[in-house]
Amino acid sequence: MKKIEKYSFGIGDRFGLQGRAQLAAIILAKKAGISIVPVWNKSNREHKTIGTQPSQVRVEANNSVAALAWKENFYVDADHINLTTVDGFIDHSDFFTLDVADFIGKKAETSEIENFISQNEKYIGELKIDGIDERFNVRKEDLIRIGENYLYAIKHASSIYKYLVEKKGAGNFITEVSMDEVDTPQTPLEMFFILSALAAEKIPAQTIAPKFSGRFNKGVDYVGDVKAFEKEFEQDLLVIQKAIKEFGLPENLKLSVHSGSDKFSIYPIMGKLIKKYDKGIHVKTAGTTWLEEVIGLSMAGGKALEMAKDIYRKAYSRQDELCGPYASVIDIDQNNLPSPEEVDSWNSEKFSNSLRHIPDHPDYNLNFRQLIHVGYKVAAELGDDYINMLKKHEALVATQVTENIFDRHIKRMFNL
């Protein structure tokens, strides 16, 4: 059976040219004493936007590990798939993120909910979870509510999982269950019974991505109560620990944080707690590699800087179109968004400093960064012009990609 390692990083690469630069950051981590496995991921939405195929992610991953002589494991994630999108990924992926967010809140059959209640009624009363001071009073009404809210989604995950077993064989892939792209965080009690239902469906989830409180906006820092996040994260770790023993889930089951990338203020908290409990973690750094490409081009100056400015200009004029699909995970303040005319006056240093995620830098502009983050469709429409510009400035771009993952993500997470 494939078994995900303790620490894993999901590294998105929208245009498929930075695999080696991303892997170089993982290698730096290994040299620093932290063993992380890379998981290249790309969603169906990103493939459709850019015009790529899942097979290309596998080729990129294989070529990257060969080029850098990586001898450890690595994976290719079919990111945020469901039954309507999974087929194109089956032959090329060995990690599947079963996205059930769209099905949360839909009701399962009455008989299925009754069966869920019957399976879990032994927990009615006081439920103690080691490490959590709070005692949970479980009522039948709680089981009904949780079953009505989550069971349909879990049944959907089961359908995808069974389909994958039919196509790939049991034990030949890593299973993740994703519930993060919803409005309301799951409580510890809900997490416990969600894991119970996953076990009842015989889904051997090795990572699970819950929803946490606060804003996880794309490409920028966490917005919310850091102390509240710390409490939720720790409780989720402890719930998982109990659920593994209680329900026979895989012993290496770990939290997955679909961070939208760059949640710098909570990385140290996550690192502290996984060390405290000796637990693993999966972190998706997602689309910030694309931003590092634009930073690299802006630093190159000349026509490359002009292209970066043109991407922003077009993204600015198409905000409704580009921001719509990401409306729940971006917050752009129009009053602090520079006009294209202003950006046209910037030199390389001003452009790159405004985009690079160094929160205390005086030039950094999180609104500018978020708009470019969702503007990758503009670069895709440039086709070979964009790709050729990246290749022309490969060394400069690659340096930005490697430094971003290692210096701003891995170092913060593992206190290096």
- For position 182, what pLDDT does the model report? 82
pLDDT at 328 over 90: no
Cα 203 from chain centroid? 20
Sorted by where each starts, the structural domains of the chain and their CATH numbers stand as 7-288+408-414 (3.20.20), 289-399 (no CATH)
- For position 27, what pLDDT does the model report? 98
- The average confidence (pLDDT) of the chain is 96
pLDDT at 25 over 90: yes
pLDDT at 287 over 80: no
Residue 260: which pLDDT band, with cuts at 50, 70 and 90? low
Q: Are 340 and 401 in contact (CB under 8 A)?
A: no
Residue 259: which pLDDT band, with cuts at 50, 70 and 90? low
Residue 67: which pLDDT band, with cuts at 50, 70 and 90? very high
The one-character DSSP state at 73 is: -
The one-character DSSP state at 215 is: B
pTM confidence score: 0.95
- For position 71, what pLDDT does the model report? 97
- For position 261, what pLDDT does the model report? 76
- For position 286, what pLDDT does the model report? 64
- For position 342, what pLDDT does the model report? 98
- The residue with greater pLDDT, 228 or 182, is 228
Q: What is the mean pLDDT of residues 160-168?
A: 98
- For position 258, what pLDDT does the model report? 81
pLDDT tens track for 344-398: 999 999 999 999 999 999 999 999 999 999 999 999 999 999 999 999 999 999 9
- For position 86, what pLDDT does the model report? 95
DSSP per-residue string spanning 134-183: SPEEE-HHHHHHHHHHHHHHHHHHHHHHHHHHHHH-TTSSEEEEE--SSS
What proportion of the chain, given as a percentage, has pLDDT over 70?
A: 99
- For position 285, what pLDDT does the model report? 79
Residue 151: which pLDDT band, with cuts at 50, 70 and 90? very high
pLDDT tens track for 299-319: 999 999 999 999 999 999 999
| Torsion of Cα atoms, 319 then 98 then 58 then 1, to 10° | 160
Residue 180: which pLDDT band, with cuts at 50, 70 and 90? confident
Burial of 341 (0-12, 13-18, 19+ CB in 10 A): exposed
Report angle CA 175, 176, 177 to the nearest 5 degrees. Answer: 125
